[in-house]
Amino acid sequence: MDVVISNENLTCFTDGCERMSKLRSALNKTAKSSVSAITFDILRAQMDPKSREEKKMLHSIHSQLLENVLALVKDEIVLLLHEENVEQKLSKLDDACKLSLAESTEVIWRPNGSPMDDVAAHLLPGISVTHQRLKVLLDDTEFETDRMMRAVLERRRFIENVKTTLEENTMRLLKATEESTVASD
């Protein structure tokens, strides 16, 4: 007997629904193997029919049992898919996978088994970006420091020139004052 999990009351939200069809196929296989495990020999060993009538009744019971089990398994699977909203979730997963494959051009980090290599591979891109930003900041700071150092040196030279000029002017003024005091005496 074949178990077919129908599409009734289920709608496909995307064109593909690859995961849902794979799930249905896997559930069909599981149900078939589960039901096929209930063989007539198992019942015959348990019931031990003595006459032909008992064997016929046992065959009838076996076929009814298979039908009932198939119906119950099918109903349970459909109920499970419906209650858990599996099809819509798998459809959204399909969409997300398609979207991520379409947009992704960079290599995604995958662990390779060595903790040191994995941590380095995971952290290195972020550290590299931070390193570049800090390098630019350091270069800017060094440039600004050099500019300020030149400005300080220029101001020191200017102050030295002003001091020299003041000393010269003070000396001239003292000399002129002495000469004028000597001349007035």
Where in the chain are the domains? 18-103, 111-185
- Whether the CB-CB separation of 111 and 118 falls below 8 Å is answered with yes
pLDDT for residue 9: 37
pLDDT for residue 42: 78
Q: Tell me the HSE value of 146 on the side-chain side, using a 13 A CA sphere.
A: 6
Residue 114 has pLDDT above 90, yes or no: no
What is the pTM for the complete model shown?
0.42
Q: Tell me the HSE value of 25 on the side-chain side, using a 13 A CA sphere.
A: 6
Please compute the mean of the pLDDT values over residues 106-125 and round it to a whole number.
Answer: 74
